[in-house]
Amino acid sequence: MIISGESAGGFYIMYILLGLLHGVLHSLLGFYAILLLIIGYHLPLKRKFFIRQVLNVVGLSLMIASVFFFFRNDTAHYNWGTFDQGLPMITLVFTALIAVCFLVGTFWKPQLKNGLKQGALSKV
């Protein structure tokens, strides 16, 4: 996601990393969200499916909260150009679309129809 500022902008991950040194709320939430999503990604697929779902939902919730508090705590409206300019707004909408698809993919388990065999790619 691209954030636009009054004089300079950048990717949201840059704002997360810059705020970590100061212990800013949106940075801590974003860091822990990324950490939970990585842990959930590396869990074995066939074991502990419920734990993987919980980690994904909590990680995504923390990421959304991170973006919310990033813009809410901006009292000087320094980064509100993100909502006025085209490219940052497109990346914000695209990120929201990816989040919804990720959430649906977390809970959607396709079932095989009777008599059909699994292909090589479906075992991945």
The pLDDT tens digits of the residues spanning 56-79 come to 899 999 999 999 998 888 877 777
**CA 75 to the chain's CA centroid:** 24
CA–CA separation, 46 and 2 (whole Å) = 35
| pLDDT value at 115 more than 90 | no
Q: What is the pTM of this model?
A: 0.76
Q: Could you tell me the sign of the dihedral formed by the alpha carbons of 79, 83, 89, 93, in that order? A: positive
Residue type for 23, please?
A: G
User: Is residue 112 very low, low, confident or very high in pLDDT (cuts 50, 70, 90)?
Assistant: low
Residue 11 corresponds to which tokens in the numbers above? 């990717």
pLDDT tens, residue by residue, 23-43: 999 999 999 999 999 998 887
Q: What are the residue ranges spanned by the domains of the chain? A: 2-108
* Proportion of the chain above pLDDT 90, given as a percent: 32
